[in-house]
Amino acid sequence: MPDFTFEMQISGRVAGVDEVGRGPLAGPVTAAAVVLRSGFIPEGLNDSKALTAKKREQLYPLILANADVSVAHASVDEIDRLNILRASHLAMVRAIAGLQSPADHALIDGNMIPRDLDIPATTLVKGDSRSLSIAAASIVAKICRDRVLVDLAQQHPGYGWETNMGYGSKSHMSALENLGVTPHHRRSFKPIHNILYQEKIVSD
């Protein structure tokens, strides 16, 4: 279970940072930065992947009410232009910059520090299961990105984004074959690139 050990070892305001949405074929990549206050930490925080959707929804307003929270995205266009790793880092930097008060240090899930980050940072592999701040960020990022995909699903019905969240599920792949590629699909990702390439060959 995550705890507050890492945060307590660092002086100043520590932001836990996590992202969600590197793997999907559609939609933005989303990052959250969360600065928790000792003594005001909601009970039950854990890696978002270890929680039920109901539990995430219960914790989400508690995190917003008791922490400094910022959410940011990198768009599909930015993912295609920069690559998914750099776009993920861009979303992280934006999330940290969007905090109400500047953070003094970032605890980042993973093993890479975004190169454009202008504050000291520490990486934590599997940080969402080790740090309460990163766990909180993982919950916020997951809920916010899921809500974006649910909204997009209403604009583009048939792809199942309200349940698959843009991942390449069987129903999503079938819809791509039947309905085609939308502006919200990541053209640099191989399955989408291959479909567009085949369409170009046919049209030529």
Residue numbers belonging to the annotated binding site: 18-19, 109
Q: Which residues line the annotated binding site for a divalent metal cation?
A: 18-19, 109
Contacts made by residues 110-115, CB under 8 angstroms, sequence distance 24+: 112/85, 114/89, 114/90, 115/89
Contact 172, 159 (CB under 8 A): yes
At 196, list the tokens. Answer: 């567009």
**Token pair 């930097």 in the structure block, residue:** 93
- CA-CA distance, 21 to 152, in Å (whole number)? 15
